[in-house]
């Protein structure tokens, strides 16, 4: 009897949390960033003097590390020392650089620490997963928004479809 | 928010608020850690080479760092001493680095001396105080009025201290006397060292040397022990340990012989007598004994003193001599008295002819390229126990790597007599509490250092079809594994700075430069160009080890002559017996395998590590033989009072089945009155009743009484619930 | 996609030579450091709440003066027929395809049935949240969860190091081999008493040693089929 009650309560709680979570996650999360960095302009804009960068040109550790990493300001300044220096946003960037500071970028995607998930970029890049699979069409975005719901079911579905291990200890440890 | 809290909170209807606050708050703080720079990529492990500083063995370590924090220490596989392995202490080094009780920056005393009240100051102010006070004291009292007390510290700090004192004009170095052990006694303190090829021995007799825990180089000898037991293509060696109380090392022995305390030398001579009278080795030479002839030491005549049956002694002697590669070592309680026991044990090695032989004793070849970096004048160490070393009213004491107020509380007044005390300790220990100025050193993981020595290995030589000793000179370089956690400074750099301000600059500008110069000396000694390219320097810091060419071993002159048999052995029958009615027992205060003599009592991992033989953690205890305890109506866990002529201590009793009935034993390590939250106010300090640990010549002969005391004992043990019967590995 | 489920997963196993083991407990601290094991503190430790994924058991044999001691490191035996697994109501403890006895912390609801059913007493329950006074928390391993109040924990054979070893082998485009993976206890072992590897590979050191005449498994008679093999002491 008792265990039935526990199960019922848990189910009810699960339903409540699903409602709350979907309410929050349903709205695209699109934080304002300290510098209005435009991904589209750097990757997809057509034209003669556009850089047409690959994701890993700036997020250069996606194939080496657990983290794709955010480029250091010094990396931005390789080009912007001379390019578009008249832009107020680039001037903000230059100001950070001259103070040897990093802009306080806001995270768009993260996994709660309590989820005990140890996601690692490296093996996904090694397996040829395209960045957009998990991050959406960032290359078409002017301001990055959270486009993909990184729920456990979503991870597992992809792992199943691609016949990759779905052992719990692949992600949780 | 934790999932469990979530369940609890939703249960009381607070779901919405917690959910929103939990999810609407991105972990922005993590972003800076995700930004790489020229030397660092987030999410990738960096391994930095260093040298372990938790004992004097000098094992090579690799420190794993991620996101600019150190998260694991492992042995360096390239280091010839520990070859990748690392003991419990060494692993706990992270808690030295990240200890919450570290001194966070320079401080000066703000209350009464000893009150423990200090205020933070800047390094500039600290240096100014030091310079002004030292100049003042020198002007008033002369150069010799400044003393430097230097214990276990890095070579870089030691070299800097040497130069600092020399340029200052003082030679008053005060050292912690190294506890009398094999080398000092064998070689009469000449600094020579012996190393023992345990891996290739076939029969090992240890007279009190706890080589698997604390003696000399425990990881090196543990690796050797593994080979001794189950090395490929080797017969399993037999190991016999002579010790009044079974240590963890003795627990590994095939046979444990609890000879009476202080009779190790007698037993060694009894074994020698059997070997000689039965002609068990070719050309046996009799040792020169001071009191009469060797025959007086026959097991049949000494068995009562030794308290072992003569037949057993005869059997051990026969087994030892008949074995292919026998080896005898001595330490611990065998150092009681004037060290003659150790000489007597070493005579056994001479008798079976294992000097410089595989499975025997090797004399370590000196390899000391760092000597060139020193002042060229040998340091004259004044022993800490020498009274006039501390009679310095109107003088200054600089103290580093030592805590004499804890190790020898009787010395407190003499230290307090110094007008100006400067401590370089990274922790507020008992001695630092008396300091007027605290200039906290980096932890060893934030410091520069270099060590050089000769490693001894015996390898199987395929061409010769024989074991061949191959001593190899090496140097190990330690560079900072992470940037300083607090506003601390490596002591060498402080001394460099202060010397410059005193107008006597040291011959190097920084700790790093000192190491670079030392590396040049090592390269010269290895026949390489002294200059090192940037690329080589970088790869050297990564590997941490440079090795010279192996040379077949040569000299045994030290071992042959060094007090080993030429001088008469001053061992007599009738060693100390606990005949005293007031103090019927011997108290054996021994080094705690994890906490050492108390220097590691501030590391929670080691406090919570169960003692292998008693399972006690977080406290002190005294081991009593169950029969003795029964006669005194003491039960396991009772509070007892242990008394010696010097004082008394109250601590819990542990009934210990593997100790002589006339001996009680307790570990050093606890009893701190300062030294941070994990150490302070825990257990008792045996130094107050059995003397400082370094006085091995005396302390193994201290007599005591023990009786049940009123009150509750605090004894924490790690309990397991596996029943005895499952000891099934057949 | 290159990362497919392989037909033959490595089967992890350990061999402990009790003739080499000295009882030094280097493995215990190595395990604490690698796996973010909490410091219980004196009070909770007195209440039996200290956590040791690996511990060194000690047995006295005989009477003074003819007394001998045996040491035996004990950790989760990663049983092939693990008694802890079927009793978990939420599948938080389960068997992986690499032969590990897995523990998923955020599935665990803290019934403690598993610990109750484990004959080796190697499972530890978190009665309290861990305390890491600053800056001690900086030494936490970022590759391992910090367990919280209400969940069970135990030895994982250092799953994070297994993953790292497998990742390296994949980078180099080869199968896993001896020496790629060593749990923290094996890595630190001062007498080289412990060996770890893939027992499904007949050429591996663990496969060879587990067939030794000295080999046996702890409480084999229970039918748990442990993945840890002990080699007995010689005389």
* pLDDT reading at B569 higher than 80: no
A128 touches chain C (CB under 8 A): yes
pLDDT at B730: 39
Is B561 part of any domain? no
Mean pLDDT calculated for residue range C152-168: 97
Contact B332, B209 (CB under 8 A): yes
Residue-wise pLDDT tens digits, B684-724: 999 999 988 887 777 788 999 999 999 989 899 987 544 44
B402 shares its domain with B455: no
pLDDT band at A19 (very low <50, low <70, confident <90, very high): low
Which residues contact residue B290 at a Cβ distance below 8 angstroms, ignoring those fewer than 6 apart? B568, B569, B570, B571, B572
A123 touches chain C (CB under 8 A): yes
Mean pLDDT calculated for residue range C83-100: 96
pLDDT band at B729 (very low <50, low <70, confident <90, very high): very low
Give the one of A118, A167, A172 whose C-beta lies nearest to C106's C-beta: A172
The closest alpha carbon to C153, from A116, B611, B70, belongs to A116
B540 shares its domain with B601: no
**What chain B residue is nearest to A75 in terms of C-alpha separation?**
B37
Q: What residues in A contact C166, CB-CB < 8 Å?
A: none
pLDDT at A115: 87
Please report where in the chains the tokens 């052995």 appear, as a residue: B569
Structure tokens at B592: 């705690």
Which residues contact residue A97 at a Cβ distance below 8 angstroms, ignoring those fewer than 6 apart? A73, A74, A76, A77
Mean pLDDT calculated for residue range B129-142: 87
Taking the C-alpha atoms of residue B58 and residue B76, their distance in angstroms, rounded to an integer, is 11
* pLDDT reading at A24 higher than 80: no
Task: Count how many domains chain B has.
Answer: 5
Higher-scoring residue by pLDDT: C226, B282: C226
Sign of CA dihedral B645, B646, B649, B654: negative
Interface test mutation site (partner B, options C191, C193, C221, C234, max chain B beta carbons within 10 A)? C191
B585-590 and B703-708 strand pairing: antiparallel
**With an 8 Å Cβ cutoff, are A64 and B41 in contact?**
yes
B680 touches chain C (CB under 8 A): no
**Range with the lowest mean pLDDT among B392-406, B494-508, B637-651?**
B392-406
Give the one of A66, A69, A106 whose C-beta lies nearest to B28's C-beta: A106
Taking the C-alpha atoms of residue C23 and residue C42, their distance in angstroms, rounded to an integer, is 23
**With an 8 Å Cβ cutoff, are C159 and A126 in contact?**
no
Query: DSSP letter at B24?
Result: S
* pLDDT reading at B394 higher than 60: no
**What chain C residue is nearest to B606 in terms of C-alpha separation?**
C29
Give the one of C2, C96, C171 whose C-beta lies nearest to A167's C-beta: C96
B172 shares its domain with B230: no
pLDDT at A22: 55
B353 shares its domain with B453: no
Taking the C-alpha atoms of residue C216 and residue B564, their distance in angstroms, rounded to an integer, is 47
Taking the C-alpha atoms of residue A61 and residue B459, their distance in angstroms, rounded to an integer, is 44
pLDDT band at C218 (very low <50, low <70, confident <90, very high): very high
pLDDT band at B725 (very low <50, low <70, confident <90, very high): very low
Residue-wise pLDDT tens digits, B246-264: 999 999 999 999 999 989 9
Give the one of B2, B213, B257 whose C-beta lies nearest to C24's C-beta: B213
Give the one of B10, B28, B36 whose C-beta lies nearest to A107's C-beta: B28
Q: What is the CATH number of the domain that holds B397?
A: 3.40.50.740
Q: How far apart are the first and last CA of chain B?
A: 49
Q: What is the pTM of this model?
A: 0.91
Q: Give how far B307 is from chain A: nearest CA, Å.
A: 56
pLDDT at B388: 41
CB contacts under 8 A, C 7-26 vs B, are 17-20, 22-26
* pLDDT reading at B289 higher than 50: yes
Taking the C-alpha atoms of residue B543 and residue B436, their distance in angstroms, rounded to an integer, is 41
**What chain C residue is nearest to A122 in terms of C-alpha separation?**
C167
B597 shares its domain with B657: yes
Query: DSSP letter at B446?
Result: G
Q: What residues in A contact B30, CB-CB < 8 Å?
A: 107, 110
Structure tokens at A138: 């960032």
Chain B: touching chains (3 or more CB pairs < 8 Å): A, C
Taking the C-alpha atoms of residue B85 and residue B77, their distance in angstroms, rounded to an integer, is 7
Q: What residues in C contact A169, CB-CB < 8 Å?
A: 96, 100, 102, 104, 156, 159
Report which listed range, B395-404, B457-466, C148-157, is most confident: C148-157
Mean pLDDT calculated for residue range B381-400: 62
pLDDT at A11: 66
Element (H, E) at A6: helix A2-26
**What chain B residue is nearest to C212 in terms of C-alpha separation?**
B730
Taking the C-alpha atoms of residue C52 and residue C127, their distance in angstroms, rounded to an integer, is 15
pLDDT at B19: 37
pLDDT at A13: 65
B211 shares its domain with B312: yes
Is B136 part of any domain? yes
* pLDDT reading at B26 higher than 60: no
pLDDT at B18: 35
Is B605 part of any domain? yes
Interface test mutation site (partner B, options C25, C63, C143, C208, max chain B beta carbons within 10 A)? C25
**Range with the lowest mean pLDDT among A36-50, B5-19, B167-181, B403-417?**
B5-19
**What chain C residue is nearest to B242 in terms of C-alpha separation?**
C65
Q: Is B491 left (phi over 0), alpha (psi -120 to 50) or beta?
A: alpha
Which residues contact residue B279 at a Cβ distance below 8 angstroms, ignoring those fewer than 6 apart? none
* pLDDT reading at B20 higher than 50: no
A22 touches chain B (CB under 8 A): no
Residue-wise pLDDT tens digits, B319-360: 999 999 999 999 888 877 677 888 889 889 989 999 888 999
Mean pLDDT calculated for residue range B287-294: 79
Residue-wise pLDDT tens digits, A67-114: 999 999 999 999 999 999 999 999 999 999 999 999 999 889 988 888
Contact B275, B314 (CB under 8 A): no
Chain A: touching chains (3 or more CB pairs < 8 Å): B, C
Interface test mutation site (partner C, options B4, B217, B613, B660, max chain C beta carbons within 10 A)? B4
Residue-wise pLDDT tens digits, B198-228: 999 999 999 999 999 999 899 999 999 999 9
Starting at the edge strand found earlier in the chain, the sheet holding C228-231 runs C194-198, C12-17, C228-231, C215-216
Is B85 part of any domain? no
* pLDDT reading at A12 higher than 70: no
**With an 8 Å Cβ cutoff, are C143 and A173 in contact?**
yes
CB contacts under 8 A, B 561-600 vs C, are 593-594
B395 shares its domain with B358: no
Domains of chain C: 12-231 (3.30.70.20)
B259 shares its domain with B208: yes
Give the one of C33, C57, C216 whose C-beta lies nearest to B730's C-beta: C216
**With an 8 Å Cβ cutoff, are C121 and B69 in contact?**
no
Q: Give how far A80 is from chain C: nearest CA, Å.
A: 35
Q: Give how far B345 is from chain A: nearest CA, Å.
A: 53
Which residues contact residue B13 at a Cβ distance below 8 angstroms, ignoring those fewer than 6 apart? none
B545-547 and B663-667 strand pairing: unpaired
Average pLDDT, chain A: 88
pLDDT at B292: 77
* pLDDT reading at B21 higher than 50: no
pLDDT at B413: 83
Query: DSSP letter at B289?
Result: B
pLDDT band at B382 (very low <50, low <70, confident <90, very high): low
* pLDDT reading at B287 higher than 90: no
**What chain A residue is nearest to C91 in terms of C-alpha separation?**
A168
**With an 8 Å Cβ cutoff, are C102 and A163 in contact?**
no
What number is the ipTM of this complex? 0.95
Is B250 part of any domain? yes
Write the CA distances from B689 to B149, B340, B589, integer angstroms: 24, 25, 9
Structure tokens at B394: 């109107």
**Range with the lowest mean pLDDT among A100-109, B155-164, B170-179?**
B170-179
Cis upstream peptide for B85 (omega within 30°): no
Q: What residues in A contact B37, CB-CB < 8 Å?
A: 72, 74
In total, the C-beta contacts within 8 angstroms joining chain A to chain C are 62
B208 shares its domain with B357: yes
* pLDDT reading at B185 higher than 70: no
Q: What is the CATH number of the domain that holds B669?
A: 2.40.40.20
Rounded (10°) CA dihedral B420, B423, B424, B425? 180
**With an 8 Å Cβ cutoff, are A172 and C105 in contact?**
yes
**Range with the lowest mean pLDDT among B693-707, C49-63, C112-126?**
B693-707
Q: pLDDT over 70 for what percent of chain A? A: 84
* pLDDT reading at A6 higher than 90: no
* pLDDT reading at B395 higher than 90: no
Higher-scoring residue by pLDDT: B400, B467: B400
Q: Is B58 left (phi over 0), alpha (psi -120 to 50) or beta?
A: left
**What chain C residue is nearest to A64 in terms of C-alpha separation?**
C171
Give B174-220 as a DSSP string. Answer: EEPPPPP-HHHHHTTTSS--EEE-GGG-SEEEEES--TTTTSS-HHH
Q: At B348, phi and psi to the nearest 5?
A: -60, -40
Q: What residues in C contact A122, CB-CB < 8 Å?
A: 167
C134 touches chain B (CB under 8 A): yes
pLDDT band at B316 (very low <50, low <70, confident <90, very high): very high
Cβ-in-10-Å burial (0-12, 13-18, 19+) of A27 comes to exposed
DSSP-H helix ranges across B58-122: 88-91, 94-97
B430 shares its domain with B483: no
B204 shares its domain with B267: yes
Q: DSSP 3-state assignment of B150?
A: strand
Is B726 part of any domain? no
- What does the H/E/C string look like for B594-605? CCECCCCCCCHH
Average pLDDT, chain B: 86
**With an 8 Å Cβ cutoff, are B66 and C56 in contact?**
no
Is B242 part of any domain? yes
pLDDT band at B581 (very low <50, low <70, confident <90, very high): confident
Cβ-in-10-Å burial (0-12, 13-18, 19+) of C115 comes to middle
Q: What residues in B contact C65, CB-CB < 8 Å?
A: 256-258
B468 shares its domain with B528: yes
Structural domain harbouring B226? 197-364
**With an 8 Å Cβ cutoff, are A13 and B30 in contact?**
no
Interface test mutation site (partner C, options A10, A113, A116, A119, max chain C beta carbons within 10 A)? A116
Write the CA distances from C3 to A64, B715, C149, integer angstroms: 16, 54, 36
CB contacts under 8 A, B 361-420 vs C, are none
Residue-wise pLDDT tens digits, C170-215: 999 999 999 999 999 999 999 999 999 999 999 999 999 999 999 9
Residue-wise pLDDT tens digits, B499-555: 999 888 999 999 999 999 999 999 999 999 999 999 999 999 999 999 988 776 555
Q: pLDDT over 90 for what percent of chain B? A: 62
Which residues contact residue C148 at a Cβ distance below 8 angstroms, ignoring those fewer than 6 apart? A114, B2, B4, C105, C126, C129, C130
Higher-scoring residue by pLDDT: B27, B264: B264
Is B633 part of any domain? yes
Contact B680, B672 (CB under 8 A): yes
Chain C: touching chains (3 or more CB pairs < 8 Å): A, B
């Amino acid at each position: 009897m008792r265990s039935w009650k526990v199960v019922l309560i848990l189910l009810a709680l699960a339903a409540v949390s699903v409602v709350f979570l979907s309410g929050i996650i349903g709205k695209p999360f699109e934080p304002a960033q300290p510098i209005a960095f435009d991904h589209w302009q750097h990757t997809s804009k057509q034209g003669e003097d556009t850089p047409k960068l690959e994701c890993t040109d700036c997020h250069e550790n996606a194939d080496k590390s657990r983290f794709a990493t955010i480029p250091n300001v010094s990396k931005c300044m390789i080009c912007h020392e001379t390019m578009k220096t008249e832009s107020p946003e680039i001037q903000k960037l230059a100001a950070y650089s001259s103070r040897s500071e990093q802009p306080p970028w806001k995270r768009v995607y993260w996994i709660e620490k309590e989820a005990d998930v140890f996601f690692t970029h490296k093996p996904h890049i090694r397996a040829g997963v395209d960045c957009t699979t998990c991050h959406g069409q960032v290359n078409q975005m002017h301001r990055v928004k959270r486009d993909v719901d990184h729920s456990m079911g979503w991870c597992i579905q992809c792992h199943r479809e691609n016949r990759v291990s779905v052992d719990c200890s692949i992600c949780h440890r | 928010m934790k999932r469990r809290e979530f369940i609890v909170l939703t249960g009381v209807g607070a779901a919405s608020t917690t959910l929103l606050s939990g999810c609407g708050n991105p972990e922005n703080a993590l972003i800076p850690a995700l930004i790489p720079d020229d030397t660092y990529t987030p999410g990738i492990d960096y391994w930095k080479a260093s040298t372990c500083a938790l004992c004097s063995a000098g094992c090579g370590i690799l420190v794993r760092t991620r996101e600019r924090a150190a998260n694991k220490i492992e042995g360096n596989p390239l280091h010839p001493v520990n070859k990748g392995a690392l003991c419990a202490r060494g692993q706990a080094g992270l808690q030295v680095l990240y200890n919450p009780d570290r001194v966070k920056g320079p401080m000066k005393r703000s209350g009464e001396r000893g009150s423990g009240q200090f205020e933070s100051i800047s390094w500039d102010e600290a240096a100014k105080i030091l310079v002004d006070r030292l100049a003042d004291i020198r002007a008033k009292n002369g150069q010799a009025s400044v003393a430097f007390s230097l214990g276990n510290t890095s070579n870089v700090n030691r070299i800097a201290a040497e130069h600092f004192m020399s340029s200052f004009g003082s030679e008053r170095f005060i050292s912690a006397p190294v506890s009398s052990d094999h080398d000092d006694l064998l070689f009469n303190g000449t600094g020579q060292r012996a190393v023992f090829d345990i891996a290739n021995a076939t029969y090992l007799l240890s007279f009190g040397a706890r080589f698997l825990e604390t003696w000399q180089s425990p990881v090196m000898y543990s690796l050797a022990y593994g080979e001794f037991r189950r090395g490929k293509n080797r017969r399993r060696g037999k190991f016999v340990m002579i010790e009044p109380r079974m240590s963890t090392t003795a627990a590994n022995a095939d046979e444990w012989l609890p000879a009476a305390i202080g009779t190790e030398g007698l037993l060694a001579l009894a074994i020698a007598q059997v070997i000689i009278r039965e002609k068990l080795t070719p050309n046996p030479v009799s040792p020169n004994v001071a009191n009469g002839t060797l025959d007086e030491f026959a097991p049949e005549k000494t068995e009562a003193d030794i308290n072992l049956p003569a037949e057993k002694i005869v059997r051990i002697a026969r087994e030892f001599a008949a074995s292919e590669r026998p080896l005898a070592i001595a330490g611990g309680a065998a150092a009681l008295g004037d060290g003659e026991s150790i000489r007597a044990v070493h005579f056994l090695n001479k008798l079976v002819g294992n000097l410089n032989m595989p499975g025997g004793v090797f004399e370590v070849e000196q390899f000391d390229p760092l000597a060139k970096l020193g002042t060229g004048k040998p340091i004259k160490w004044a022993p800490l126990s020498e009274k006039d070393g501390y009679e310095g009213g109107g003088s200054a004491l600089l103290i580093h790597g030592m805590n004499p107020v804890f190790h020898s509380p009787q010395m407190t007044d003499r230290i307090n007599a110094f007008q100006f005390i400067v401590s370089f300790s990274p922790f507020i220990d008992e001695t630092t509490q008396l300091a007027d100025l605290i200039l906290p050193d980096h932890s060893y993981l934030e410091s520069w250092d270099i060590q050089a020595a000769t490693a001894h290995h015996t390898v199987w030589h395929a061409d010769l079809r024989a074991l061949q000793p191959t001593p190899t000179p090496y140097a190990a370089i330690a560079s900072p594994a992470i940037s300083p956690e607090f506003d601390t400074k490596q002591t060498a750099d402080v001394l460099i700075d202060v010397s410059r301000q005193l107008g006597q600059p040291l011959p190097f500008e920084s700790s790093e430069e000192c190491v670079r110069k030392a590396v040049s000396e090592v390269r010269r000694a290895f026949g390489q160009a002294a200059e090192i390219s940037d690329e080589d320097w970088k790869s050297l810091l990564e590997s941490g080890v440079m090795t010279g060419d192996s040379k077949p071993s040569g000299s045994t002159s030290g071992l042959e002559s060094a007090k080993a048999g030429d001088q008469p052995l001053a061992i007599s029958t009738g060693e100390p017996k606990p005949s005293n009615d007031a103090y019927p027992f011997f108290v054996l205060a021994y080094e705690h395998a994890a906490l050492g003599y108390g220097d590691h009592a501030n590391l929670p991992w080691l406090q919570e590590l169960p003692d292998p033989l008693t399972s006690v953690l977080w406290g002190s205890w005294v081991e009593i033989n169950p029969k003795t305890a029964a006669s005194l109506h003491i039960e396991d866990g009772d509070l007892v009072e242990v008394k010696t002529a010097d004082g008394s201590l109250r601590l819990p009793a542990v009934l210990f089945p593997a100790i002589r009935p006339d001996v009680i034993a307790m570990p050093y390590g606890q009893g701190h009155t300062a030294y941070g939250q994990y150490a302070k106010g825990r257990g008792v300090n045996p130094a107050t009743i059995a003397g400082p640990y370094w006085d091995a010549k005396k302390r193994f002969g201290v007599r005591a009484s023990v009786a049940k005391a009123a009150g509750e004992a605090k004894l924490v043990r790690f309990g397991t619930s596996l029943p005895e019967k499952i000891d099934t590995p057949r | 996609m290159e990362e497919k489920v392989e037909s033959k997963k490595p089967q992890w196993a350990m061999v402990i030579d009790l003739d080499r083991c000295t009882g030094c407990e280097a493995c215990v601290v190595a395990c604490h450091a690698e796996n973010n094991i909490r410091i219980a503190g004196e009070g909770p430790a007195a209440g039996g709440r200290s956590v040791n994924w690996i511990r060194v058991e000690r047995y006295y044999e005989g009477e003074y003066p003819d007394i001998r001691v045996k040491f035996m490191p004990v950790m989760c035996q990663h049983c092939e027929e693990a008694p802890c697994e079927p009793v978990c109501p939420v599948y938080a403890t389960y068997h992986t395809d690499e032969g590990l006895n897995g523990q998923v912390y955020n599935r665990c609801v803290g019934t403690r049935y598993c610990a109750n059913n484990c004959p080796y007493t190697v499972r530890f329950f978190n009665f309290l949240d861990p305390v890491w006074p600053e800056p001690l928390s900086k030494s936490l391993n970022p590759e391992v969860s910090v367990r919280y109040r209400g969940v069970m924990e135990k030895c994982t054979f250092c799953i994070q190091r297994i993953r790292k070893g497998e990742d390296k082998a994949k980078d180099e485009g080869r199968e896993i081999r001896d020496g790629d993976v060593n749990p923290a206890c094996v890595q630190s072992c001062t007498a080289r008493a412990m060996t770890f590897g893939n027992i499904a590979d007949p050429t591996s050191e663990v496969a060879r040693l587990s067939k030794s005449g000295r080999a046996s498994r702890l409480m084999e008679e229970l039918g748990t089929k442990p993945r840890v093999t002990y080699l007995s002491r010689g005389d």
